[in-house]
Structure 1
Amino acid sequence: MSIKLFVTDLDGTLLPKGQQVSQENIDAVQEAVKAGVTVTIATGRMYRAALPVALTLGVDVPIITYNGALIKSTSGEVFYESFLPKKVIADVVSFCQERGWYLQSCSHDELYLPAHTSEAEGYEAAQNIKGHVVGWDGLKAHNEAVCKLLSITSGAEETDARIREMRAYFGSEIAVVRSNANYVEIVNPGVSKAAGIQHLADKLGVKLDEVMAIGDANNDLPMLKAAGHSIAMGNAVPEVKAVCDAVTTTCEENGFAKAIYDYVLRG
């Protein structure tokens, strides 16, 4: 196979939770780049949280952030953006506030919090980002250039229950996805990592059958299905492993690097 674009998720794929990218993974990226492969990132993270990782890798192409809602180069050039409507933001904030659900927002690539709760502290630590505490009314007020809203739960069962309730209430107004066991992500309909890959492939003049994607979580499923070739991490959820062409080792075992050597450089 001939892979021209290799797209990776971040958390649980390229880097373990709260840790830096391993030297093994960096070396694998550099080997792929030398072989003429474009390596980029597709993540649910904020652009500002993904950018340091991209710079560490030496990635000089647009990176897909906010689960596909924003594609922006490391130099700051915007290739695609999809912002939630202000009315939808207000409705989702009210919906979550009434139910006592934690919710946070990203406006102009800044993090806004209703209160500095344990959920907020955990997110800040994991993403190496500091948020602004603005209260529930503040979440409604900071409603410009909002790529996504994020509700954080106590675990997978609660996450899935919230997703079902929000989909039943809002219907096609929003897209609601689970990015890990504790994260409920709210974006515009049509926004996904898969759509982000298509936008980027078109920009680079690459066909989808020349694209390989790698991931571990439910929000990676669209891009894994859309790419011509797909790899699941060893720590991936069962749904991801079921749709991928192959399974590599876990994130902690540098399964990302192994996938590049096994399926890109030797594929």
Structure 2
Amino acid sequence: MRKLVAIDLDGTFLNQYYTISSLHASTVKKAQQKGAEIVIATGRANFDVQRLFQNEQLSTWVIGANGATTYDPEGHLTVSLPMETIYAKEIITWLNEENYYYEIVTDNEIFITSKAKQLLQDEMDIVQSAERSEMERARERQLGQANLQEIEDYIDVFQSEKEIYKITIVSFDEERRRIAADTLSKKGLNLFSSADFNLEIVDNKASKGNALKKLAKKLDMKQDDIIAIGDSMNDLPMLEIAGTKVAMGNATEEVKQHCDYTTETNEKDGVAHMLEREILQK
């Protein structure tokens, strides 16, 4: 029986250095050779996933921007759920007024304002409770993304009429994240968190779960054919619709409670262990 395997990226398929282990890459290829359909389901943009895939010569379906986009293995956009412009403008105006670091994710670029890097550094200097090394890794993750471009004014994005798929907010201050979530929650939007330090805002029809459900229908696969694996709260929507739910060893306790079993951590190639069990040994 064919299987559709949905794999989260950060904290799951990637290690702590935001790279793909050779074992993870080789095991995915073996699973594909056995007939499994693999989809990476991530908050990252597709072009950033392709940058990560390049060295390992991987090719999979990609659910990007927390479900706002889906690309086939050949790189064609098959699902597009951009944010409504009116919501995007309201959000960005407020974030600028309150001096938050944020990113605007489109189909081809990630935009930050010219003062964004300094805002991120200021937060690291002010927040003393968080681990410095953890904040450094978070900063490296955000600023190491593909196609990151600085702009003087966010209005430039709207004037270019680019479709906005996601707005990412990064703050190391728990209270500031709570305020942002409370202020920006509204009917037409979904808010997710893929790490302790971020908020990711997308259209209310976008989620990893909805995107995975559409992909399963396209590939004529039932719920029992779906396997999902993840570590964070934004993975719950896709885990909920999977026939087999797998948590990473480093997953949050809430994610583990929603799953059928827990595999190894991302540092110990947990995805490879799951694929061996669910695909290669059957």
Report the residue type matching 1:172 in the other structure: K
The answer (yes or no) to whether the contact 1:230–1:246 under 8 Å persists in 2 is yes
Report the residue type matching 1:257 in the other structure: A
Q: Distance in 2 between matches of 1:56 and 1:227?
A: 30
Give the drift of 1:173.
Answer: 2.0
The answer (yes or no) to whether the contact 1:155–1:181 under 8 Å persists in 2 is no
Stretch of structure 1 that moved more, 176-185 or 126-135: 126-135
| 2:136 match | none
Give the drift of 1:75.
Answer: 2.7
Structure 2 residues not aligned, in runs of 5+: 122-138
CA 1:130/1:124 → structure 2, altered by over 3 Å: closer, same or farther? farther
Report the residue type matching 1:240 in the other structure: V
Report the residue type matching 1:98 in the other structure: E
Structure 1 segments, 4+ long, off by >6 Å, are: none
CA 1:207/1:157 → structure 2, altered by over 3 Å: closer, same or farther? farther
How many residue pairs get aligned? The number is 263
Q: 2:266 aligns to what SS in structure 1?
A: coil
* 1:3-152 alignment runs, 5 A limit: 4-54=3-53, 59-114=58-113, 115-118=115-118, 119=120, 122-138=140-156, 140-141=158-159, 143-152=161-170
Q: 1:84 aligns to what SS in structure 2?
A: coil
Report the residue type matching 2:249 in the other structure: G
Name the TM-score, length of structure 1 as normaliser. 0.89
* 1:223-234 alignment runs, 5 A limit: 223-234=238-249
Q: Percent identity?
A: 26
Give the drift of 1:19.
Answer: 3.1
Name the TM-score, length of structure 2 as normaliser. 0.85
1:248 counterpart = 2:259: no
The answer (yes or no) to whether the contact 2:25–2:58 under 8 Å persists in 1 is no
Alignment match of 2:180 (pick from 143, 147, 162): 162
| 1:179 match | 194
Q: 1:135 aligns to what SS in structure 2?
A: coil
| 2:130 match | none
* 1:183-198 alignment runs, 5 A limit: 183-198=198-213
Q: Distance in 1 between matches of 2:81 and 2:274?
A: 31
Q: Distance in 1 between matches of 2:72 and 2:28?
A: 17
The answer (yes or no) to whether the contact 1:86–1:144 under 8 Å persists in 2 is no
Q: Distance in 1 between matches of 2:116 and 2:184?
A: 24
Give the drift of 1:55.
Answer: 5.1
Stretch of structure 1 that moved more, 202-211 or 110-119: 110-119
- Structure 1 residues 165-219: Cα deviation after superposition (integer angstroms, max 9, x where no partner): 322xxx2021111111111111000210001101111111111210100001111
Report the residue type matching 1:192 in the other structure: S
Q: Distance in 2 between matches of 1:174 and 1:96?
A: 16
- Structure 1 residues 69-111: Cα deviation after superposition (integer angstroms, max 9, x where no partner): 0111243322100111111111111121222222210123211
